Amino acid sequence: MTDVQTELYELLKLFDGICKENDIEYFLTGGSALGAIRHKGFIPWDDDIDIGITRPEWNKLKPILKEELPEGILLVCNDIYPTYHNPVIRIVDTRSARITRAALGDGCPKGQFLELFIHDPVPKEKVTEHKKLFCTYCELTTPYLNILMQKFRLLHGLKDDEIAIADEYFRIKKTCNDSELQKLLSKMEEEISRYDADKSDYYLLGWGTASRYYPINNYSGMRFEKFEGLDVPVPIRACNNLRIDFRNEWTDFPRLSNQTAPHTAVGEPGISGDEYMKLVAEDISLEETNEMRLALKDINLKWLKERTDRDKQMLAVRMRHAKSIDSASADIEQMYSVGKYEEITDRFSSYIELKKKSLNYTLEEDISPMTREILASSLVMCGRLTDAENVMDVERTMEASPDNSKTENDIIRLAMAVPAFYDGFESESREMLKNVRADWHKSPSFRKIKARLDISEGIATKDAEKLFEDYSEDAEAAKIYADVLSLEGKNAEAENLYRQVLEKSNNGMDILDIKKRLSV
């Protein structure tokens, strides 16, 4: 562990102990849940811990934390520190000096911190209006960060109702003084948290750009995973949450360029947060810094609609180009029928990239429905499930439904079969595969998860060697074949192949399993 991770781990142990002593249920979420499942601890480059808790559990825990946190460790939230302005609750160790730049001038306690994300239930039919309300609430509670601009940059554009939030932000800021704003925020928080879990379909994990609506069934129980030696709870279907967070690539390590700490922080070892802030105040006017950030936020919000419109215009030009390719693709059905999947995806490579860059836009034009279906099917046959989701506009929270097309439902089933397997719901995973269209049974996505299911039941699946032959450069296919060799008692061959996989695999779940098997 890094020095930062060591500090965080001590805070986690303290928090975990308080929760266990008082029968409070919490769970790891986001990157911390991914770390527990894929690494049995911190993601190596991570620098925070994300903790989830439902509002009823938080209401029980809050007074306990006020009483039981040791000296130097403080609970920081809006109603205790009115200048905090953050929908995420923090437990701050003021004996250290780790300060995020965005919070440099808010006048609140500084130091290493745990972050607590309250999960509120939401009925399916209320999600759209709830999203708008929550995003507005976040924009109003975070005077330095621009939530909408961050969403624009990270999530590939903004929907029309999200753009309207900027106008609402300026209207409220213009008409409310500070005390009126605090009352409004309190009312908004009551509205956000007003639904009952037993009448809802989703839990909201809420924080600006990272806001997610997870199926409430994913939280129907908890299970425990190792986290640097500590047994920590995660939702019973945590891997399905990770698919929603990180798409189907949640099992894989990101590129080296993305293996960076998510928070930009300042601070020095061996000094408290208060001491560090005194040094900062000698050279930096925190009041001027806050005013500058507020002014910058206003500028960004005012330009947001124009930037969005410009993006849409550029995307529309590219879409017209994609439609011209579509009109010249009369032979696409014949190409698919004879297995020319890569030729089809190559022909529409520009369109595939366009859909990736317009995930959050509703574009008025698109290629024909038939072409989209064939293109998505070709992507599945090439093992590119996430690209197939993008092409068909399949959202990560969608479930198989009569309201969807057959192609949409089969993409959803394939995508959900993998986390169902890793979450321990093998029979559900098999049932999903059983309902996937027959021609997709030859796709690498289908064959891999089917083989993993067989191996988990001690079946030396016959397709494993053929899978390895068909995809000889695919480390996952090699891992699956090595598992079959191990089942057949061919231990020397299996170990040799496992070691080859370790050298080239990007799949963290496979690496974790191989290291366990080889005890390395």
In-domain check, residue 243: yes
Main-chain phi, psi angles of 28, to 5 degrees: -75, 150
Would residue 164 count as lying in a domain? no
Q: Please indicate, yes or no, if residue 244 is contained in any of the structural domains.
A: yes
Candidates 90, 91, 94; CA nearest to 72 is 94
Dihedral sign computed on CA atoms, order 135, 141, 143, 144: negative
369 in a structural domain? yes
- If pLDDT is split at 50, 70 and 90, which confidence band does 159 have? confident
pLDDT at position 257: 59
> Which of 172-176, 234-238, 411-415 is predicted least confidently?
172-176
Q: Where are the beta strands (DSSP E) in 216-257?
A: 222-227, 230-235
Beta pairing partners, 99: 266
Which of 78-82, 274-278, 379-383 reaches the highest mean pLDDT?
Answer: 379-383
- Do residues 354 and 428 both lie within one domain? yes
Mean pLDDT of 19-28: 97
> What average pLDDT does the segment 378-397 reach?
95
- Which range is least confidently modeled, 149-153, 359-363, 393-397, 479-483? 359-363
* Res 208: pLDDT: 63
Count how many domains the chain has.
Answer: 2
**Separation between Cα atoms, residue 355 and residue 347, nearest integer Å:** 14
Share of the chain above pLDDT 70, in %: 94
Residues spanned by the domain of 351: 320-518
Residue 86 has pLDDT above 80, yes or no: no
| The last residue of a domain, from among 284, 309, 330 | 284
372 lies in the same domain as 443: yes
Q: Is residue 93 assigned to a domain?
A: yes
Tell whether 384 and 428 lie within a shared domain. Answer: yes
Q: What is the mean pLDDT of the chain?
A: 90
What pLDDT digit, counting tens, does each position of 250-272 carry? 999 887 656 766 666 776 667 88
How confident is the model at residue 279, as a pLDDT?
Answer: 79
Q: What is the CATH number of the domain that holds 379?
A: 1.25.40
Does residue 143 form part of some domain? no
**373 and 466 belong to one structural domain:** yes
Max mean pLDDT range (79-83, 88-92, 161-165): 88-92
In the prediction, which pLDDT does 408 show? 97
Q: Give pLDDT tens digits for 336-345.
A: 999 999 999 9
Q: Is the pLDDT of residue 117 over 90?
A: yes
Q: Which of 234, 260, 284 corresponds to the end of one domain? A: 284
- The model's pLDDT over 47-77, given as tens digits with 9 standing for 90+, comes to 899 999 999 999 999 999 999 999 999 999 9
Using 50, 70 and 90 to split pLDDT, how confident is the model at 358?
confident
Task: Examine the domain organization and report whether 394 and 487 are in the same domain.
Answer: yes
List beta partners, residue 224.
Answer: 233
| Confidence at residue 239, expressed as pLDDT on a 0 to 100 scale | 98
The span from the CA of 60 to the CA of 512, in Å, is 37
Distance CA 240, CA 29 (A): 12
Q: How far is CA 243 from CA 124, 390, 422, in A?
A: 19, 14, 11
Residues 277 and 327 both lie in one domain: no
Euclidean distance between CA atoms 472 and 470, whole angstroms: 6
Q: Does 216 fall in a domain?
A: yes
295 occurs within a structural domain: no
| 339 and 258 in a common domain | no
Q: What integer is the mean pLDDT of 336-359?
A: 91
Last residue of a domain, one of 284, 311, 341: 284
Q: Quick one: 458 and 356 in the same domain?
A: yes
Neighbours of 494 (CB within 10 A): 20
pLDDT of 8 > 80? The answer is yes
What is the identity of the amino acid at 175?
T
**Mean pLDDT confidence for 454-462:** 94
Whether residue 365 is found in the same domain as residue 237? no
For residue 109, give the CATH number of its domain.
3.30.460
CA dist., res. 368 & res. 349, Å (int): 16
My answer on whether 454 and 340 are in the same domain is yes
Q: How far apart are CA 35 and CA 48, in angstroms?
A: 11
* Structural contact between residues 5 and 42, judged by C-beta atoms closer than 8 angstroms: yes
Place of tokens 């998510």: 262
CB 242 within 8 A of CB 250: yes
The predicted-structure confidence for 179-188, as pLDDT tens digits, reads as follows: 888 889 889 9
> Which range (6-20, 91-105, 224-238) has the least confidence?
91-105
Q: State whether 248 and 325 are in the same domain.
A: no
Those residues with Cβ within 8 angstroms of residue 206's Cβ, 6 or more apart along the chain or in another chain: 87, 117, 118, 119, 120, 134, 138, 192
Asked if residue 343 and residue 265 are part of one domain, the reply reads: no
